[in-house]
Amino acid sequence: MEEQKNTFRRYKDNDSAHLPWKESIIEQDTSYKCPTYVHRTPPCQGSCPAGEDIRGWLDIVRGMEKPPADLPWQEYAFWRSTNANPFPSMMGRVCPAPCQDGCNRNEVEGFVGINSVEQFIGDYGLQQKLAFNAAGKETGKKVAIIGGGVAGFSCAYQLRRLGHACTIFDEHDKPGGMARYGIPGYRTPRETLDGEFQRIIDMGVEFKMNTRIGRDISMDQLEKDYDAVLIAIGAQSGRLLPIPGGDAPNCISGVAFLDAFNQERLKYTAKKVVVVGGGDTAMDVVSVARRLGHIKTVHEKDRTEYVVLGHTAHDVATAAKKEGAEVMLAYRRPVDKMPAAEHEVDAAQREGVSIRGSITPVEVVLGDDGRATALRVEVVEWENGEMKNTGKTEDLECDLIVAAVGQTGNLEGLEEYNNGKNLIDTDAYYQVRNKPGVFVAGDIVRPHLLTTAIGQASIAAQSIDHYLKAEKFERRPKVDVHHFNLLDKLKEWDMQPEDYDHHVDWGTDTSSFATHNYEDRSLHEIITSDKLFLGHFTYTPCHQRSETKVTADHVLNHFDERFEGLSEDEVRSEADRCMSCGMCFECDNCIIFCPQNAVKKTPAAKSTTGRYVYTDYTRCIGCHICADVCPTGYIDMGMGV
């Protein structure tokens, strides 16, 4: 068992100096400071590229934040989650969860399994056929969205909620973008993907398939027909190896390889495959290659590269003769420095992929027919983060080289937006510079995570809304996420403050026209672990999703989903591990430990999330104990002079 890290102590061994007098406590029977309740953004949310209110829906799942009457907690959590991210089932499966890396629970024993809870919430929404509703009032404004992937659909979702009409144009047969054509189905089951995209289409989003802007419809025409345009075409063009011989016919990109597989044209691959790269795309390529295998006798037209380039497609009957393929992953840094998720690396090795680190490609060795026969690599060493060449080379024999070393966009027909790197530059509001009314989001800005595309699309939707209303763009907050709003919560329970008339009452701490003793710093601050009372939390292991641990002997043709979701009981237990950083989670510590009985429970009729307790300032002596024992860092000694 890992040693518990909850070691917070206000006073430590050998402390001999008192605190500065301004931080000391008592003068006669009073203090210059009394408790105030301060809301800050938790690091999970601050680390989430989509800006989800993770703490909020975890508190719902655990039963702390109650749903309105007759609404199941699962559905309430679903609505809270999808306020920022309309794809919880998909993201719960494929997102590498930077939120978990940022989780303050790592300072106790390990992160909260956020993605597993999100998957449960998303699967519940699909099982119950929960539908999104567009805004009740249509604005009469029309927005064209170029690209039917996660970014395009996320923006359409947010715009429909605001009442704007949306038309999505996409050159593929089906919606999904990289979520469909770049990620294998055993990571994102197609029924899950289809259900979450269809739910947005059902909001009244028009969808035009097999239509490429710049070829079938000009950009000029689109700008004439619509009030605003969003470019969300993704980065679906891969880069080849920039070395001699890197353009050999059997040197292809990882993006193209996965696209052919996901379109079900690629049924098997070569006998010896070398994949270059260390990210998520590289891991998907090696895992797919091991599952596809190869056949001994291959006709020229059926070589992998010709299928990938779209010249032909594999015959199912021929594919029945498959055998295992030898797959190697080559990465220039040490294996433990690969950016891919650790469990993906472990799974690939277990499935029979050979992974080599600290080797960098220098040349593709060509045969007499011009095809690659080996990848020549140099063995390198790393010192203090710097690569040192050794001059030692070796040849990795192969029949196919797949480069998973980066992605770019295909801007054919949209050349005026090209920043020189086949990507598009944008301002802080995701509007194309010097092109009012044209916005951009997703991988075409910077190839990154699907959740990054969701977050960018949400901001772009807000910017488009301001543009359509001829409003000045508001300055984006320092912590730019979907924040919990106490006033919205109070309105939900019909407890909002009364209208304020300053001619009648200048205000006291009992007035009913204000929310007293509450400060919202969530737009500016992310709460760190040193502001928490970690000693409150006991060692509780994470509830991990069970994985179908496929071995090298059984990986061929194994396309079942890799992870099995948690049960309802497991999900609620996992949500209980959330420390609710920056928001009261109703532990009663401040009430129990207050020596003056100055901290009291808010009457049930007026109590809600964030307003569970209040302070009787006629009794408070400013002893600071409530702040010291608050596990979530929700109490600051800030009131007074």
pLDDT per residue as tens digits for the range 589-625: 999 999 999 999 999 888 889 989 999 988 888 888 9
Q: Are 330 and 377 in contact (CB under 8 A)?
A: yes
Q: Are 394 and 274 in contact (CB under 8 A)?
A: no
Degrees, nearest 5: CA angle 440-446-451: 85
Higher pLDDT: 638 or 26? It is 638
CA distance 175 to 168: 9
| Predicted confidence (pLDDT) per residue in 172-210, tens digit | 999 999 999 999 999 999 999 999 999 999 999 999 999
Higher pLDDT: 29 or 361? It is 361
Considering only CA atoms, which of 486, 490, 487 is closest in space to residue 68?
490
Considering only CA atoms, which of 133, 27, 151 is closest in space to residue 87?
151
Q: What is the mean pLDDT of residues 500-521?
A: 69
Task: Describe the chain by its helix, strand, coil percentages, rounded to 5.
Answer: 30, 15, 55
Beta-bridged to residue 361, according to DSSP, are 377
CA distance 546 to 563: 6
| Predicted confidence (pLDDT) per residue in 425-467, tens digit | 999 999 999 899 999 999 999 999 999 999 999 999 999 999 9
CA distance 99 to 88: 14
Domains and CATH numbers, the chain: 21-128+483-639 (no CATH), 142-236+409-468 (3.50.50.60), 242-407 (3.50.50.60)
Task: Transcribe 88-138 into DSSP letters.
Answer: HHHHHHH---HHHHH-GGGGTT----HHHHHHHHHHHHHHTT------SS-
pLDDT, position 1: 43
CA distance 641 to 630: 23
Residues 6+ apart with CB under 8 A from 409: 233, 234, 235, 236, 237, 422, 423, 424, 443, 444
Phi/psi at 461 (5° precision): -65, -40
Beta-bridged to residue 416, according to DSSP, are none
pLDDT, position 502: 63
Burial (CB count <10 Å: 0-12, 13-18, 19+), residue 253: buried
Using pLDDT thresholds of 50, 70 and 90, give the confidence band for residue 639.
low
Considering only CA atoms, which of 293, 300, 302, 298 is closest in space to residue 271?
293
Burial (CB count <10 Å: 0-12, 13-18, 19+), residue 580: buried
Q: Among residues of the chain, what percentage have pLDDT more than 70?
A: 92
| Predicted confidence (pLDDT) per residue in 203-229, tens digit | 999 999 999 999 999 999 999 999 999
Burial (CB count <10 Å: 0-12, 13-18, 19+), residue 215: exposed
Q: Where is 253: in which H helix or E strand?
A: strand 251-253
Phi/psi at 11 (5° precision): -115, 140
pLDDT, position 18: 65
